[in-house]
Amino acid sequence: MATGRMEFHADSIMQHANFCFVLPNDFIREEIIDPRHYDRPVKSLILLHGLTGTDTDWLYGGIAQELSKQYNLAVFMPTVGNSFYLDRGYPGGNFGTFIGEEFPAYIREVFGYCESRENTMIAGLSMGGFGAIHTALAFPDSFSACIALSSALVIHEIADTGKRQNSVMPAEMVRDIFGDPSKLPDSDKNPEKQYRCLQKAGRRIPGIYLAIGTEDSLYGANQEFRNFLTEAHADFFYEEGPGKHDWFFWNKYLPRGVEWALEASSK
């Protein structure tokens, strides 16, 4: 396995962006649970952190290395601060464009991965779960599937209250990231709005895997999004189970999401 940490200058956010990577090489065949994953080319996974997190989270708290080994995945983990992976609409603040366009292009140029939609997935936890959904829907020609764990699907809560209830985010920070709360439901920051627009345009839409713990404070919001996807006849898979907003849950369900996405992409 090759692991490392790099940085490069990203025009969309006008700064040097750090990212970690894990590449699936030099594994002993006997260590692989399902060798069939090595009978196909390497697939790419962009893996996103949550609020207050960094590019190292999935290496130190998560299972990025084991995931890479078992599923023959090149895993790339960027840092974007507490941006919710959204564009602010000005040069230097376009974190959505960075994740959905500039970062995959850099990986393609330097590493040779993320070379096609069919071979590229995106995943994340909490804020990164929201980011995975939003980015996949904003750039549907870049990703075949997204895997969203304990997703911070807070758009309607913010629109209703002007802030996130019981949140570590100050109201000023919420407004800076999301803008005018009253305009959120009909904006392109709302994944439901994004999905409807893609449907209306007849675009290809990435498959969506959702997982949430039943003791998670975001449980209700994830159920609401599941209901929306059901009504929209979306290609998605929803799972829930005992769990809180923690690494025990995320490390258990990320492989399940990867397996669903790989199977879906093979059909």
DSSP per-residue string spanning the chain: -EEEEEEEEETTTTEEEEEEEEE--S--GGG-S-GGGGGS--EEEEEE--TT--TTHHHHTS-HHHHHHHHTEEEEEE--TTSTT-B-SSTT-BHHHIIIIIHHHHHHHHTS-S-SSTTEEEEEETHHHHHHHHHHHHSTTT-SEEEEES----HHHHHHHSS-TT-SS-HHHHHHHH--GGGSTTSTTSHHHHHHHHHHHT----EEEEEEETTSTTHHHHHHHHHHHHHTT-SEEEEEES--SSHHHHHHHHHHHHHHHHHHHT-
Rounded to whole angstroms, how far apart are CA atoms 184 and 129?
18
Percent of the chain with pLDDT over 70: 97
Query: What average pLDDT does this structure show over 104-124?
Result: 97
Tens of pLDDT along 40-63?
999 999 999 999 999 999 999 999
**Mean pLDDT of all residues in the chain?**
94
Confidence of residue 163 (pLDDT cuts 50, 70, 90): low
Among the listed ranges 30-39, 64-73, 185-194, which one has the minimum average pLDDT value?
A: 30-39
Query: What average pLDDT does this structure show over 83-105?
Result: 96
Domains, the chain, in order of start with CATH, read 2-154+187-265 (3.40.50.1820)
Task: Give the chain's radius of gyration (CA, Å).
Answer: 17
Angle of the 247-265 helix axis to the 64-71 helix axis, nearest 10: 20
Count of CB atoms situated within 10 Å of the CB of 122? 32
Q: Are 43 and 73 in contact (CB under 8 A)?
A: yes
Handedness of CA 179, 190, 82, 138 (dihedral sign): negative
Tens of pLDDT along 234-250?
999 999 999 999 999 99
Residues facing residue 263 across a β-bridge? none
Q: Are 91 and 101 in contact (CB under 8 A)?
A: no
Rounded to whole angstroms, how far apart are CA atoms 148 and 125?
6
Rounded to whole angstroms, how far apart are CA atoms 112 and 41?
12
| Total-model pTM | 0.95
Which pairing describes strands 73-78 and 43-48: parallel, antiparallel, or unpaired? parallel
Starting at the earlier edge strand, list the strands of the sheet with 207-213: 2-10, 15-23, 73-78, 43-48, 120-125, 145-149, 207-213, 236-241
